[in-house]
């Protein structure tokens, strides 16, 4: 290693390889549900956290197990902390979900496109989230509320399978009681102790308050949920180019080389994960894509 390269490495600068993770330490863990946890990660000494935009993702590496693409679910912090909400599905995500404070996790990123917030300035904003689609939208909601005077009405519709599958529960209660946005929570099914709405996200959209011709919508959730949500928004008169979707695909390299996340002609890790519906529309309902 040359003296200049050694100086850069000693200063803690990111390594040149896009596949080299930086070490972060879990400082806190919040169990959202029986299979979803939110982790706060602090950079190890000498590691600088790159700036990120709402909607981007990182590759999180559980040492000895594997790597997974996980959306950033928190706001930037002066200490460079990163917030990720993880669902235990496969071996890697289960290892990340189980990580306790003090665990070291590899991080590389951020990657991908963020939510185009500037497109919504001066307009009504709709956020529609299904299941684990709320964490990628959470940083966007923070920005919308921090710059509240720049936007018109803000409508949020969040749906989960049942009350026990809701994430950020305490925060949901605070959002629902704010006077500067309307936050609707619905579940697919519930017992008698649930006093909220029952039904999928699309059942709440006809009641959403926005002027379609001056509305921008941001949508994240399972693909079937997004497909029906887009149809409901189009039926209300929202323009296709004003609907933005965050796609979840099997991302392995995060830099557009391996091809695992290809969606039609697009690579979700490199060209997304946020796309306008105008761009994805021809492929969104095609089987096997």
pLDDT at 226: 93
pLDDT at 228: 94
> In which element (H, E) is residue 159 found?
strand 154-160
117-284 maps to which CATH number?
A: 3.40.50.80
| Residue whose pair of structure tokens reads 């519930």 in the numeric block | 190
User: Strand 66-71 to strand 182-187: parallel, antiparallel, or no bridges (unpaired)?
Assistant: unpaired
Query: What is the CATH superfamily name and number for domain 3-111?
Result: Translation factors (2.40.30.10)
| Domain 117-284 in the same topology as domain 3-111 | no
pLDDT at 289: 59
SS3 state at 113: coil
pLDDT at 202: 92
What are the structure tokens assigned to 278, written together? Answer: 């105008």
Q: Profile the chain (289 residues) by mean pLDDT over runs of 10 residues.
A: 36 58 97 97 93 96 95 95 96 97 96 95 97 96 97 97 94 95 94 88 91 96 93 95 89 78 80 89 69
pLDDT at 67: 95
Closest CA to 107 of 72, 75, 76: 72
pLDDT at 7: 35
pLDDT tens digits, residue range 127-163?
999 999 999 999 999 999 999 999 999 999 999 999 9
d(CA 278, CA 201): 21
Which residues does 254 contact at the CB level (< 8 Å), separation at least 6? 18, 57, 59, 69, 108, 109, 111, 112, 269
Closest CA to 133 of 115, 160, 96: 160
Q: How far is CA 233 from the centre of its chain?
A: 20
pLDDT tens digits, residue range 83-94?
999 999 999 999
pLDDT at 115: 97
Dihedral of CA atoms 193, 197, 202, 208 in degrees, nearest 10, equals -160
User: Strand 215-220 to strand 243-246: parallel, antiparallel, or no bridges (unpaired)?
Assistant: parallel
Q: Where are the domains of the chain?
A: 3-111, 117-284
Q: How far is CA 1 from the centre of its chain?
A: 38
pLDDT at 270: 84
């Amino acid at each position: 290693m040359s003296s200049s390269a050694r100086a850069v490495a000693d200063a803690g600068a990111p390594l040149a390889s896009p596949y080299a993770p930086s070490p972060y330490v879990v400082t806190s863990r919040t169990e959202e549900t029986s299979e979803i946890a939110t982790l706060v990660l602090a950079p190890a000494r000498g590691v600088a956290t790159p700036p990120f935009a709402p909607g981007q993702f990182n590759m999180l590496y559980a040492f000895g197990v594997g790597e997974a693409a996980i959306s950033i679910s928190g706001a930037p912090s002066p200490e460079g902390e990163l917030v990720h909400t993880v669902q235990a599905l496969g071996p890697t995500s289960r290892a990340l979900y189980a990580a306790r404070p003090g665990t070291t996790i590899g991080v590389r990123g951020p990657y991908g496109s963020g939510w185009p917030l500037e497109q919504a300035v001066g307009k009504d904003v709709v956020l529609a989230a299904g299941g684990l689609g709320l964490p990628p939208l959470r940083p966007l909601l923070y920005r919308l509320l921090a710059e509240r005077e720049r936007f018109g009405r803000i409508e949020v519709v969040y749906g989960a399978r049942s009350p026990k599958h809701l994430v950020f529960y305490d925060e949901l209660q605070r959002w629902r009681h704010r006077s500067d946005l309307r936050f609707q929570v619905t579940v697919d099914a519930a017992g008698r102790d649930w006093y909220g709405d029952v039904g999928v996200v699309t059942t709440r959209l006809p009641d959403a308050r926005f002027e379609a011709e001056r509305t921008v919508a941001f949508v994240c959730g399972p693909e079937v949920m997004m497909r029906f949500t887009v149809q409901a928004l189009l039926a209300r008169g929202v323009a296709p180019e004003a609907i933005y979707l965050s796609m979840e695909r099997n991302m392995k390299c995060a830099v557009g080389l391996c091809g695992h996340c290809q969606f039609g002609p697009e690579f979700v890790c490199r060209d997304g994960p946020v796309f306008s519906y105008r761009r994805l529309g021809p492929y969104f309902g095609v089987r096997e894509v």
